[in-house]
Structure 1
Amino acid sequence: MAGALFFLYMVRPIFTPLLGAALLAYFLKPAVLALEKRGWSRGTAILLLYFLGLAILALTLLYVLPRLLRELNKFLDQLPAFTGQVQGWLQYFYDRYQRPGMPAGLRRLVDESLAMLQGRIEVGIRQAAGLLAGVFSGLTSILLAPVLAYYLLKDSEVLGRNALRLLPAAWREDLLGLWTEIDRILTGFVRGHLLISLLVGLLTGLGLFLAGSPYAVAMGIIMGLADLIPYFGPLIGAIPVVALSWMESPRLALYAVGVIVAVQQIETAILAPRILGQSVELSPLAVILAVLAGGELFGVAGLLVAVPVAAIGRVVLGFLWSKLVSH
């Protein structure tokens, strides 16, 4: 057992492309099966979907990337002015609370709070920079994921049969049923959640573009990525979006808040019930607790995988309980 754990630790870098491949495979699986029913071979169906995906990506980069780069350049140009404005607000606040008559204990509390806030902002900036650097350094893993996903999709039945042969005959039927339920939940969650996040990003970017924001593309991307985190994602994404809008004007910041609220209402009332439904079959309280625990234990990665892991845990515990009761 110790040897197996040590081996898994040594080969941990391969888990990143494997995870990406699994997510891509789950996302494409329904479309691959639909094309297969229409007479396409599985390999051809996968390659067709890859070609369509590359075409969409190329068009997106052709039209979106130049605008995104312009927005980033403008943001960098305005960053010194924005930093000076924030420093002016902090200095004004500092001058106000340093006036005679303010209790020393309250001053000390404010000083400590400001120092803590500054430290967290610096940590957040370093983490964001590290994440961006990690994306570029992990380019090999990103490129490897579609290759691995191709073979996962193409040979999924063969892999499944071989895995079943490794199990004792008495366990095969039960574990096959368990895996079928887990596969159903993961397929629904991954496909639905990615689609909802894409639509949230598009709707947010469109709304801010119509409101006249010069950072509409960047803000749409931020909100789409943040929406991958259940419940807390919209709040996490709203902070930089509103801050970027405030750099332009308070009016635009107010519009940004309105767009975010409207898009979240659309997601809650229309998109999530129709697309995601009850795919993970967890209560809202269980989802919130899972996200909090995942973020505390594993950071950003924990926030992203907490809900499907909790859903799998529910299925496994239900399976074990049913076996215990039946015996």
Structure 2
Amino acid sequence: MNRMNNISLSFFKGLLFVGMAYILIKVIDHYEVLFNGINGMLATIWPFLLAFVLAYVFNPIIVFLEKKFKCQRTVSIAMTYIGLLLFCYLGASFLFPVIYQSSKDLVSQIPVYASEIQSWLTNWTSQFKQIDVGDLAAIQDQILRIIPKLTDVLTNFLTSVIGATYHALMGTSNVLLAFIISIYVLLEKEKFSSITRKLVGIICRPKLATHVFHMAHLFHSNIGKYLIGKSIDSLFVGICAVVGLSLMGAKYALLLGVIFGITNMIPFIGPIFGTLIAVGINFFYSPFVALMILVFLLIVQQVETLIIDPKVVGQKMGLNPFLTLLAVTIGGKFMGIIGMILGVPIMGVIKLYFTQFINQEYEKLYLSPQKQKEESLEEAV
């Protein structure tokens, strides 16, 4: 009897396996339908996901107002959102039209810049024709090959910024709905937090839930606080850049200041990239102004690195230049500018977990036996 039951159980397991394999094959064959369904579901719940992101971003400001000025939560939320609406209104009314027009003008001028650089190189190399240097022509060819690539990179960057801003404005209804939902999330954030912890505890069980909560804490400490602090830091740097470039009479001062603030979010190479863009573009109009811009932006970077960054950001990822460049490169490859910004804090969390794992395994293999020997010797004495 038991044998027959075992045979029946094995038969049903095999039948279940065949059925699951058949379903998987059908899903692979019709992956477009699956992806369309997922995209449709994400489009439906997108305002709710954005609402939780907005609530997470604005929560530190509201907590600061509650603790520092003893404001009620409703008053803190109202002050935060009214300030944000005023900022958005000023940006939409005054800043965005100027940035958009400057971006279109700059993109149209990029081929002109490229042709001028090629003319300069041609004139420069013609002065050395009397010198028989074979490598000079090769160097010129290499530079001339790089110029179109740099032109494409800059054009794609500016186009992506314009496109992202345009799509964000086109999705105003979803953004507005997300803002409204985020208000309710902030009003009852303790309830949402409690329910989330209980659901994770039920689904993951105690042991796994502990790891999930630990990972969430690391995410908040290493990524959340870092990005919020870095955003405030980059906003301040961008405002300084806009004001400084405007006072120096730089071309496209507002646009280049915004680009410098955005690229400042990318560690290590971002400020360098933003500085080169501002200096390179203005060099075509006034080399003296370009030199002043270079000196000014270098001073801004030093002030930001030595004074603003430690106080505002505070949270350091502990990554050396190699890991920083690796994180920025991999993140940019898969997710563009957003990947470059998120790559460093994510790499910081990975490094933290990897370091803990290495230390634990090393302690198990080498330090634990040594401790056991020492303890046994102490007991013998």
**TM-score range with shorter-chain normalisation?**
0.7 to 0.9
Per-residue CA deviations over 1:303-322 (Å, capped at 9, x if unaligned) read 01112212332454467678
Distance 1:148 1:176, change over 3 A: same
Tell me how far apart the structure 2 counterparts of residues 21 and 314 of structure 1 sit (CA, whole Å): 30
- Mind listing any 5+ residue stretches in structure 2 that lack a counterpart? 1-19, 369-381
Given that 1:211 and 1:252 are in contact with CA atoms closer than 8 Å, whether structure 2 keeps it comes out as yes
Range 251-260 or range 166-175, more displaced: 166-175
Tell me how far apart the structure 2 counterparts of residues 16 and 282 of structure 1 sit (CA, whole Å): 34
Q: What letter corresponds to residue 312 of structure 1 in structure 2?
A: V
Given that 2:107 and 2:158 are in contact with CA atoms closer than 8 Å, whether structure 1 keeps it comes out as no
Q: Which residue matches 2:345?
A: 308
The one of 54, 76, 79 equivalent to 1:48 is 79
Matched, 1:212 2:242: no
Q: Which residue matches 1:184?
A: 221
Given that 2:317 and 2:345 are in contact with CA atoms closer than 8 Å, whether structure 1 keeps it comes out as no
Q: What letter corresponds to residue 152 of structure 2 in structure 1?
A: E
Look up the SS of the partner of 1:229 in the other structure.
coil
Range 56-65 or range 227-236, more displaced: 56-65
Matched, 1:241 2:278: yes
Tell me how far apart the structure 2 counterparts of residues 109 and 281 of structure 1 sit (CA, whole Å): 39
The alpha-carbon deviation at position 136 of structure 1 amounts to 1.5
Range 258-267 or range 18-27, more displaced: 18-27
Given that 2:332 and 2:340 are in contact with CA atoms closer than 8 Å, whether structure 1 keeps it comes out as yes
Q: Which residue matches 2:145?
A: 115
Given that 1:197 and 1:224 are in contact with CA atoms closer than 8 Å, whether structure 2 keeps it comes out as yes
Tell me how far apart the structure 1 counterparts of residues 108 and 73 of structure 2 sit (CA, whole Å): 52
Given that 2:331 and 2:340 are in contact with CA atoms closer than 8 Å, whether structure 1 keeps it comes out as yes
Q: Which residue matches 2:123?
A: 92
The alpha-carbon deviation at position 169 of structure 1 amounts to 2.9
Q: Which residue matches 1:29?
A: 59
Tell me how far apart the structure 2 counterparts of residues 240 and 94 of structure 1 sit (CA, whole Å): 25
Given that 2:230 and 2:313 are in contact with CA atoms closer than 8 Å, whether structure 1 keeps it comes out as yes
Given that 2:125 and 2:136 are in contact with CA atoms closer than 8 Å, whether structure 1 keeps it comes out as no
The one of 34, 38, 46 equivalent to 1:10 is 38
The alpha-carbon deviation at position 269 of structure 1 amounts to 0.9
Distance 1:148 1:294, change over 3 A: farther
Given that 1:243 and 1:253 are in contact with CA atoms closer than 8 Å, whether structure 2 keeps it comes out as yes
**Any residues of structure 2 matched to 1:143-162 within 5 Å, and which?**
143-144=174-175, 146-147=179-180, 149-150=182-183, 152-162=185-195
Tell me how far apart the structure 2 counterparts of residues 8 and 315 of structure 1 sit (CA, whole Å): 37
Report the aligned-residue RMSD.
4.0
Matched, 1:164 2:187: no
Tell me how far apart the structure 2 counterparts of residues 82 and 174 of structure 1 sit (CA, whole Å): 54
- Relative to the length of structure 1, the TM-score reads 0.78
Distance 1:127 1:95, change over 3 A: same
Per-residue CA deviations over 1:129-152 (Å, capped at 9, x if unaligned) read 244224323445565353564455
The alpha-carbon deviation at position 234 of structure 1 amounts to 0.7
Distance 1:162 1:297, change over 3 A: same
- Mind listing any 5+ residue stretches in structure 1 that lack a counterpart? none
Look up the SS of the partner of 2:292 in the other structure.
helix
Matched, 1:266 2:299: no
The alpha-carbon deviation at position 263 of structure 1 amounts to 0.1
**Any residues of structure 2 matched to 1:66-105 within 5 Å, and which?**
68=99, 82=113, 85-93=116-124, 95-96=126-127, 101-103=132-134
Distance 1:316 1:141, change over 3 A: farther
The alpha-carbon deviation at position 259 of structure 1 amounts to 0.8
Given that 1:182 and 1:315 are in contact with CA atoms closer than 8 Å, whether structure 2 keeps it comes out as no
Given that 1:178 and 1:315 are in contact with CA atoms closer than 8 Å, whether structure 2 keeps it comes out as no
Q: Which residue matches 1:255?
A: 292
Given that 1:26 and 1:191 are in contact with CA atoms closer than 8 Å, whether structure 2 keeps it comes out as no
The alpha-carbon deviation at position 270 of structure 1 amounts to 0.3
Tell me how far apart the structure 1 counterparts of residues 216 and 360 of structure 2 sit (CA, whole Å): 15
Range 251-260 or range 26-35, more displaced: 26-35
Given that 1:291 and 1:302 are in contact with CA atoms closer than 8 Å, whether structure 2 keeps it comes out as yes
The alpha-carbon deviation at position 268 of structure 1 amounts to 0.9
The alpha-carbon deviation at position 160 of structure 1 amounts to 3.2
Q: What letter corresponds to residue 275 of structure 1 in structure 2?
A: V
Q: Which residue matches 2:167?
A: 137
Tell me how far apart the structure 1 counterparts of residues 99 and 168 of structure 2 sit (CA, whole Å): 22
